[in-house]
Structure 1
């Protein structure tokens, strides 16, 4: 499995911990995020993640900013992206099972690091349920 990850300055600590988790799980990581805490523009780090997911260069993406909103909005501008802003493990499960989310957006300023790591694990292991949910996904235009 290969994951693209991107973050702004608010997500650096979380990104570094998530990259460590992914590597411990023998998952390849394409790191597009900043490694610093100086203010940066999240879009500069989110578009490369969305591009890689959209082009099939990676299996999934993880993006992190302070609220998760700006990152999610940026990713969802890409046609083949279904980015879910998630605040807990249960929302992550539903985003994968019902919406086939291919990018997880994390709000670093509103969840704990242990919670973020649990959410990433859940994102990686939860399968899309298909069935009636597939019909709904097909109604999301992908021009």
Structure 2
């Protein structure tokens, strides 16, 4: 029997683990266009994340941004566990089987030393890496 013509590709991009999505305060300057970027812990204030800077350990992926100006705060949901895409910094070569760290502005670059306990790259298409962080 011939195989079915569909379900021939596997993609791990776009998986969400709702139990591991938490609300954090966001540093000033983060906007809705930053959704989908890598974030790191900010030492500026408790319970706060920033866009992942150069060499930063990635704690999660920004899922939402809520500007609560009336309350004087900026908050967002952060996926602490995910299988989804992260933007690669121009000029960086990220490879399948490696892991990534922050490259600045929420983009990623290859980790100096692969640490599959931190995250693992499972696909690279152009300047987008599909990363699994469990």
| Same fold per superposition (TM over 0.5) | no
**TM-score, with normalisation over the residues of structure 1?**
0.27
Q: Which has the higher helix share?
A: 1
Q: Which has the higher strand share?
A: 2
- Which is higher, the Rg of structure 1 or of structure 2? 2
